[in-house]
Amino acid sequence: MTPVTRQEVLGLYRKIFQIAKKWQSASGQIEETIKEKEYIKNEARTLFRKNKNVTDPKLIKQCIEECEARIEIGLHYNIPYPRPIHLPPMGLAHKQGRTLRHQEKLRKISKPIYLKSHDEVS
Percent with pLDDT over 90 in the chain: 52
Domain boundaries, the chain: 3-85
- Rounded CA-CA distance 86/50 in Å is 27
Rounded (to 5) percent helix, strand, coil in the chain: 70, 0, 30
Sequence-ordered strand ranges (E) for the chain:
none
Confidence band (pLDDT; 50, 70, 90) for 96?
low
Dump pLDDT digits (tens) for 27-72: 989 999 999 999 999 999 999 999 999 999 999 999 999 999 899 9
